[in-house]
Structure 1
Amino acid sequence: MRAQKHSARRRIATFAILDIAVFLALDVYFATTLYIGALRNNPDASWADQFFAHMPAWAVLAAFAPGIFWLSKHQRMGLGRGVRPVLIQVGVSLAWMLLVCSAWILIDVARQPADARQLEDIVSFRLVMTLFDYQWYWLIVAAAHVHHGTRDAIARATEAATLELEKTELERRLARSELDALKAQLHPHFLFNTHHAIAGLIRSGEPDAALELIADLSGMLRYALETEQRPTVPLARELEFTRRFLAIQAVRFKGRLEIEWDVSAACGPVPVPPLILQPLIENAVHHGVSSERTDNFVRVRGHVVGDALELEICNSMAADTEDRAGFGVGLRNVHARLQHLYGDAYTLELELVSASPTPGSSPHQIRLHMILPSNPRAQLRVRPDPARERDKPADDPDHANATYPNAAGG
């Protein structure tokens, strides 16, 4: 409260100083102009006489200026504001003109008593001068509207910028919480399955394979910890994490899962969000591996085309994919994270592809296509479009295609 009062006093003091300074400057300007004109007919003319002669008129305008500003703030004229503010301003200005003119006439008569003829001259002179002051009244109104309009525009821009910053911070926290939730899900669920697989290898007399599995698991956990505070990592590190994940899955499924890699070396240094592939690969395994078939596969392809990184994950489709829980959640989370980092500069597509049916194989495959900027400078996040359908189900297997289109080629 004390700070608000102090701020209000500062604004009033600042306005008073500016008010006096402006009208003193106007008095100086017009006194100088009149003085130069008077020198032509009267070499003995005095600039000080001109300055002090018109000072009372400028002082009256300076005294009324704060009230005019206040009225203009509360009775703002403009399109869509109706005629009421205009009528109020016109009425107040006419009343002000009549008051000022009458006051000056009374002052002049009090200074020097006049007969009827002289009084008529005084009234005529003061009417002319008041009309001059009336123009200045509306100039003050115009200045007040410019001042208040500018302040409102600055306030709106500041509020919009503040809201945008708050929105960006909330989205950053959302992306952070989604990543933390992903890691929390990865740790207990994946650790349980991996420990079960390690125990199975030890019981079956395969200690070397068990040690290799432990090394892969340790590498994955180390990667998750090291990338906790990083917005991006080189794709090579993300692929290393993914290879370890798939290697562990291959051991769990005991030869029923074939893994193929086709990623060019140019993809290695391209920055990507950490753990962006893991939910996609996990979906591919969870929804593509069937205990009834031996031709289960996951293929990962990656290439740099121009300024874009193209990644493709293709996997077999289990017969009961539609009945398995969680289908689509991973893709929506990935979409939300990519949108937060890249704005519209990415593509994420999911489609069902018909395959040549063979005995015991799936007639369909699931293919996921992702395009990201390969230029590190493109990592600067653009403002996300709030109209995007963030909760749109993107991977419904009842549709031939499910796509997140955008400016990057969707």
Structure 2
Amino acid sequence: MPENRRLAWRFLFGVWSALGLLLILQSYVATAGDGRDFTFTQHVMTVASQFYRAWIWAGLTPVIFWLRRELNRRHSNLVVVIALHFLAAVTCFAMGNVVRIWIIEITFGYWELRFYALSAVYTQLGAYSLIDFYIYWAILLVAYVTDVNWQRRQTELREEQLRTQLSQAELAALKQQVQPHFLFNSLNAIASLVREGQPTKSIEALAKLSSLLRQLMNYSGRPEIELWREYDYAQCYLAVEQVRFEERLVTKFDADEECLQALVPTLILQPLVENAVKHGIAQRRNPGRVTVTARRLGDRLQLQVANDPAEGGRHASEAENHGIGLSSTRTRLELTYGQHQKLEAVLNGPAGSIITIEIPLRFPEAAEKVEPISP
């Protein structure tokens, strides 16, 4: 606070010093038609007088700003407020000129007591002194515009904070929606192994699911994580599914080395990988591949999840594919990156389904140099 106040006073002093130069120029313009020749002392007094006037108003400016706010807060009647400001303008005009003339007399050595009487001071006031009356109203106008702009900025800031809080709440809700969904799918897959009488595979799948849940708990509070951690999540989930599908599920993870430390929304790949297994691999009798790739495209990161097409004459409808997985991913990207993201979905094509995401390429300030943990 003290440093900010010093900066404000320096700014105020600088502005009024510049206005003092304009007042000096205006003084010479106003007396240019008189034909008088000024002595050196008169020139110095003119310069000093206008600078003193400017600096006195520099001190009065915060008072006028405060007075405007206080009168508006205490009085709702506009006529009363204007009348009080008129009295304040007359007071500032009178007292400001009295102080200015006294300071000039002290500066130039006029120490006789009679020069400090109010009657003597007012004999030195001319029509030009009325400029101080108008200066008050000019400062009041600036105070009004400044306060209106400040209130508008505060309103915009509050609205932006509310929008941010709403977006964060929606993102958290979507994230919480994704986690139980994939957990349900994983447990359903393990339940299938139990029903098929495969206890060894069931135990193996439970162990891999436990490992995945442990990782999720470690980073559950982070909206963004490094890509290699996201790859670990997806690999753990596919490892669980691989126990179920065995050789029917082939996985491939490929990423540019520099992309592994890039930040991505937590669990952004998870629902896409689930859809790839559910709508692609689960509908095949022959082995099928799920491929996850990451590439750098200039200042953007491209993520892609692809799966081989389904077999047996059954293809999931586009509405099915646009369930919680794709729709929640699209919404999360829009809330996180706004217009700076892109999601394209090629569904049920001859080559299968391909989901492509592009987001800004960003890295943590201090990236954690830890090698990914294999599932």
3-state SS of the aligned residue for 1:262? strand
Cα shift readout 1:117-173 (whole Å, capped 9, x = no counterpart)? xxxxxxxxxxx96x965x655443333221111110111111111211121122112
**Amino acid aligned to 2:149:** A
The answer to whether residue 360 in structure 2 is matched with residue 370 in structure 1 is no
Q: Return the structure number with greater relative CO, CA threshold 8 A, min gap 6.
A: 2
Alignment partners' CA distance in 1, 2:155 and 2:253: 50
The 8 Å contact of residues 32 and 47 in structure 1, kept in 2 or not, is answered as no
1:286 corresponds to: 278
2:100 corresponds to: 29
3-state SS of the aligned residue for 2:291? strand
Alignment partners' CA distance in 1, 2:93 and 2:247: 88
2:148 corresponds to: 152
Q: How does 1:146-225 map onto structure 2 within 5 Å?
A: 146-187=142-183, 189-200=184-195, 203-204=197-198, 207=200, 209-225=201-217
**Amino acid aligned to 2:234:** T
Comparing 163-172 with 245-254, greater Cα deviation is found at 245-254
Q: Please, what TM-score do these two structures have when normalized by structure 2?
A: 0.62
Cα shift readout 1:202-233 (whole Å, capped 9, x = no counterpart)? x14x61x3332111110122122222111222
The 8 Å contact of residues 287 and 327 in structure 1, kept in 2 or not, is answered as no
* Structure 2 unpaired stretches of 5+: 1-68, 75-83, 367-375
2:223 corresponds to: 231
3-state SS of the aligned residue for 2:317? helix
The answer to whether residue 326 in structure 2 is matched with residue 348 in structure 1 is no
CA shift in 2, pair 1:210/1:142, >3 Å: same
The answer to whether residue 326 in structure 2 is matched with residue 331 in structure 1 is yes
**Amino acid aligned to 2:220:** E
**Amino acid aligned to 1:28:** V
Larger Rg: 1
* Identity score, percent: 23
3-state SS of the aligned residue for 2:320? coil
The 8 Å contact of residues 316 and 364 in structure 1, kept in 2 or not, is answered as yes
**Amino acid aligned to 1:166:** L
1:321 corresponds to: 316
The answer to whether residue 304 in structure 2 is matched with residue 312 in structure 1 is yes
Alignment partners' CA distance in 1, 2:283 and 2:299: 41
Alignment partners' CA distance in 2, 1:328 and 1:279: 10
Alignment partners' CA distance in 2, 1:24 and 1:263: 76
The structure carrying a bigger helix percent of its residues is: 2
2:3 corresponds to: none
Offset, 1:191: 4.4
**Amino acid aligned to 2:295:** H
Alignment partners' CA distance in 2, 1:331 and 1:159: 35
Alignment partners' CA distance in 1, 2:195 and 2:93: 89
Alignment partners' CA distance in 2, 1:353 and 1:232: 30
The 8 Å contact of residues 198 and 214 in structure 1, kept in 2 or not, is answered as no
1:143 corresponds to: 139
Offset, 1:280: 1.1
* Structure 1 unpaired stretches of 5+: 1-6, 59-127, 355-362, 380-410
The answer to whether residue 40 in structure 2 is matched with residue 48 in structure 1 is no
Offset, 1:283: 1.9
The 8 Å contact of residues 204 and 243 in structure 2, kept in 1 or not, is answered as no
